[in-house]
Chain A
């Protein structure tokens, strides 16, 4: 049985993503404890130079093929399975990211090994998943071999950025002709009316505001504070606010001086986008809401009572 720890590297527009370094740092630590190698698998086209940036890895195996030029769920799944099989691994790490989602579970089927998802901690032979919107943790035994999908921000990226000179090895792509999926294009977000990433103060609203008619109250508060309104995903899915206002995994990463969260539960996908704010104040009637694990100050006061009271004092 192999003791290698393999990281499926993610990159976009010629740059390695943070999640890659976050996983690499942890992989290095795990592999040294196991007596195996930390191996990064890099797939793409014209990406060989990125290999040298992954100094925390003992080895980088890259696959260069025109069919891998842009992310493609089918081509990347196929290629990753081949490379992992050839290298052998105890743990295979993928990101719990849009791309990682389309690779991890398939690897588990193709390699016929179990999977542990939403992992925020790995120690020894156990991996801890953050489930139920961040309300419960579940620790699983890693066993002989498994695929782990890692939550963004769970491990420090710095550890994965340490310098070093990994062995760089090229592997050939499997047969990627006749793919059933073709990448066609990227669509960039339309510029919105505001740039929430440039604000000092964000008044952020979640499903707790119940309906669209309650938005003006939040906008008034934001206005008085000289800030802007941002929101969680369901508000955008309901079309109450535009996509450019969404904070989180599939929205924007924000780092304001003050982040006021009203009626936001604090699911991992939301936390990912705002946990680095300087001061986080959360208002949520559920005392067990995960947002309180990340906020500096919190209150269980009903937002419908509290917001007018705050506005009245400004």
Chain B
């Protein structure tokens, strides 16, 4: 099985988010990025497939802040090839990104594409499905299990309430991975550094990404907070007492 895993950096939500002077986007000056958590799951699932069935894993990303580090980390975890797509402007729409991905992987022999199920910053739709439609491939998203046999994958998709639907999907296909079957592996910084020296980071150009237009952003704003909760402050003991009295009604 040859698997392609698109990966993406997203703002770390633990940090405070600020809006820039345009009023339409995040202020990126102090923003800290991290790999989208669902991409860690997608990569993990791909590596597990490779360990079980052989084949290769290719991690691919669009050029941007800190992306080299994310790709080297993927290599350190076991990706065979890492590729960076260049020539897209800042903050491409997901439609453009999906187009660029579809262009970039044309020369690669693959059976499956695993993306993360979603990312916290995608305003215009999930890449797995966009890519699949550009490539005319079948797709399943919200996937929690993939088992391959011959040219078919048995795929489990999560509905609400813990109900799971199972599908048989002819390969090649695209899947939006919600959770890998194992907790994503961790790789120490020393191994990422080693990978930086020993890995060939390939670059390909985005090609033609013109798509049917995207919507304009009018403005970005913080949801009204504080409107909901009455905040309790004081010493730990005071807060604990107040909470106990609330619970006891």
Contacts and interface: CB of A to CB of B under 8 A. Distances in A.
B54 to A, nearest CB: 23
Given A132-B13, A140-B218, A293-B223, A282 B229 contact: yes
Interface in A120-175: 126-127, 129-143, 146-147, 149
B86 interface: no
B208 interface: no
A142 B215 contact: yes
B17 A293 contact: no
B156 interface: yes
Contacts of A102: 129, 139-142, 157
Given A135-B13, A140-B218, A189-B162, A310 B168 contact: no
Interface string A14-49: 000000000000000000000000000000000000
Interface string A241-270: 001101001111100001010000100000
Residue from B121, B227, B239 with most neighbouring chain A CB atoms (10 Å): B239
Contacts of B16: 288
Given A105-B133, A293-B229, A313-B244, A114 B213 contact: yes
Contacts of B240: 306, 309-310, 312-313
Given A73-B140, A110-B133, A310-B244, A137 B221 contact: yes
A99 B217 CA distance: 27
B129 to A, nearest CB: 4
Contacts of B169: 180-182
Contact of B162 (A138, A252, A279): A252
B216 interface: yes
A182 B166 CA distance: 9
B215 A114 contact: yes
B62 interface: no
Interface in A279-306: 279, 281-282, 286, 288, 290, 292-301, 305-306
Interface residues of B: mostly helix, strand, loop or mixed?
A: mixed
Interface stretch (B106-114, B175-183, B185-193): B175-183
Given A70-B165, A180-B138, A299-B239, A138 B233 contact: no
A1 interface: no
Contacts, number: 271
Residue from A114, A141, A305, A314 with most neighbouring chain B CB atoms (10 Å): A114
A103 to B, nearest CB: 8
Interface residues of A, number: 95
A116 B160 CA distance: 22
Nearest to B229: A298
Contacts of A139: 217-221
Given A135-B222, A292-B226, A99 B159 contact: yes
B171 to A, nearest CB: 9
A61 to B, nearest CB: 22
Interface residues of B, number: 84
Interface string A169-206: 00000000000111111111100000000000100000
B134 to A, nearest CB: 6
Given A136-B221, A279-B246, A108 B125 contact: yes
Interface string B5-25: 000000101101101000010
A93 to B, nearest CB: 13
A121 B216 CA distance: 16
Nearest to B218: A139
Contact of B142 (A98, A116, A143, A234): A98
Contacts of A97: 160
Contacts of B179: 237
Residue from A71, A74, A134, A258 with most neighbouring chain B CB atoms (10 Å): A74
A104 interface: yes
Contacts of B215: 114-116, 127, 140-143, 146
B159 A12 contact: yes
Interface in A60-96: 70-74, 77
**Closest 6 A/B residue pairs (Cβ):** A189-B162, A105-B125, A298-B229, A309-B240, A112-B212, A109-B133
22 contacts: A102-B139, A104-B129, A106-B133, A106-B139, A113-B213, A129-B123, A132-B17, A132-B120, A139-B219, A141-B217, A143-B215, A201-B247, A237-B41, A281-B247, A296-B229, A297-B230, A297-B243, A298-B228, A298-B230, A299-B232, A309-B236, A310-B244
Given A72-B167, A185-B165, 15 more contacts: A104-B125, A106-B129, A108-B95, A112-B211, A113-B212, A114-B95, A114-B214, A136-B223, A139-B221, A146-B215, A189-B163, A246-B162, A295-B228, A298-B231, A309-B239
Interface of A: 12, 70-74, 77, 97-99, 101-102, 104-106, 108-110, 112-118, 126-127, 129-143, 146-147, 149, 180-189, 201, 225, 234, 237-239, 243-244, 246, 249-253, 258, 260, 265, 279, 281-282, 286, 288, 290, 292-301, 305-306, 309-310, 312-314
